[in-house]
Chain A
């Protein structure tokens, strides 16, 4: 087994275990911390498959920004909501079982699929670094979605302010 595959298996298992713990933890703060584990593991997977830019984004935006947001929300709702109830636990267990089933299905399908499909174009990978290629794709092929994304971010910002400011 080569190094890449080994690293992928280690990181993927870590992400899975952390993900399951996110759902099963009774304390919301613990869940949030395991979520960091998921994010970091996924960032590691991105590095393994050669998508360094995504790895950086994953760490900066998710492990940095989004998680802070999660923690604030947890603190916002107060102590009572922080510890899960029995019923939530049942739902979480059912959810976990379903997710495992889905994962098994996917794994089986992937085995069946084998080579059939084509994966993304990867011809330039030796000539240019990953971040350069993202830059070219984003600013040459995908300019329009990129610009619309700025409107999307603006709407999100307006929304947060409209809903979270006390006064009208």
Chain B
């Protein structure tokens, strides 16, 4: 079957052949856009199903590329003047994006009806965002990386403000847009300084130029700092996190879930691509900054989440804490040591786990949403165990997993990340991370306690749509499976190494 599909595209020149996933998804997004305004307009619901089907189908060429890139370690396909690279690193992240996009779209179908904002463009924009991410992670040239980043960012700005009649959504989109475009400007400034010093935007050339003695060039260091600041905005690390709570609270819940998983994963992918593939020789300049970002994110994120009464805000702060953990994985990457691979693998494992558990947690907030109830307050979860035991149980699992309790996906992720940090001699940071995750249990369990101890004000269970229910089941099953039987996931993540 795979071979037939493979030969279907064999006439393509290699430049296009290696970007089959991107091409297919772009075409699907175009079609969705056209269908949404066609003379015989399709119902948005059907466009949703169409988008989900296509996004899932794009998995096929992606898996084919995964098979090919993992045949030999370091196997990669390069085209477009060395700009576009397909290695196992890129393919892994692309699979992650598709997964997050599918779960998001599954959760959206009923939700958008309730919000009375159901149009086909929504799905097209999600697919465009994924296309942007795919180009980002495959870019070995800062120009292509930047264009991909912008495609993703602009799509997500629009999605954040998709509920036009909701003031919180407007606020969310505006804050996200202003700070996002500001950070884009800073990023571009950083690129231009690096270009001024090294004479290239290609990461390999930059890497060589740095290794040949430009390491301490002041403009290079300044450019590097500016790029880290901008990336800090994109992945929402402290002190560049101010927009996160408001944006996460106001955006449509499904889109918040998308932000906290796919967009964040894309951010980390380019952090690794730039810092490891382009700037590893300048590690002594970026490592101290990343240490500060990591420690500050863990502390501020944990403290901020303690008193939140809004689940979306709570998860926003918790996502900041998780960024702190993930940055430890970046720090573990060092030259000439196997800890480098360990750091990247840990990040991959963690992002995989985080995608499932965070999607699930936001999915529950979506499930609570109905006419007349936003469902994003911690109080809305009160007594859920009696009304809808299954939903309450899955929320319990997601919360425990986010807290890092053994036998859940979150534990495996933390185990790898903290281990990588210790191996890389950042013991104090790992200790801080353990303290932060112990504290974080308090606010995750607060939701659980309300669900199981509280008295529900209303009767009747939740009635999630079939699509939403399947998204929740997928998240739940994988969260538990990854906790109990992590080997296949770890095998998958082991390919996420930049050479």
Contacts and interface: CB of A to CB of B under 8 A. Distances in A.
Query: Do A and B have CB atoms closer than 8 angstroms in the complex?
Result: yes
A109 B155 contact: no
A113 B128 contact: no
B161 interface: yes
B288 interface: no
B199 A120 contact: yes
B449 to A, nearest CB: 40
A142 B143 contact: yes
Interface size class of A (residues with CB under 8 A): 20 to 34
B186 to A, nearest CB: 11
A156 B181 CA distance: 13
Interface string B128-142: 100110010000010
B199 A117 contact: yes
B375 to A, nearest CB: 22
Contacts of B26: 151
Contacts of A119: 196, 199
Nearest to A116: B217
A151 B124 CA distance: 12
Contacts of A109: 218-219, 222
A120 B150 contact: no
Interface in B335-391: none
Given A117-B217, A121-B199, A142-B143, A148 B222 contact: no
Given A159-B158, A163-B161, A117 B214 contact: yes
Contact of B33 (A106, A120, A158): A158
**Of A117, A155, A163, most B-chain CB atoms within 10 Å:** A155
Contacts of A110: 219
B56 interface: no
B10 interface: no
Contact of A155 (B119, B125, B164, B220): B125
Interface of B: 26, 33, 80-81, 83-84, 116-117, 119, 121, 124-125, 128, 131-132, 135, 141, 143-144, 146-148, 150-151, 154-155, 157-158, 161-162, 164, 173, 195-199, 214, 217-220, 222
Given A113-B218, A155-B158, 18 more contacts: A110-B219, A112-B218, A113-B219, A116-B217, A117-B219, A117-B220, A144-B80, A145-B141, A145-B143, A145-B147, A152-B147, A155-B128, A158-B33, A158-B121, A158-B124, A163-B161, A163-B164, A168-B117
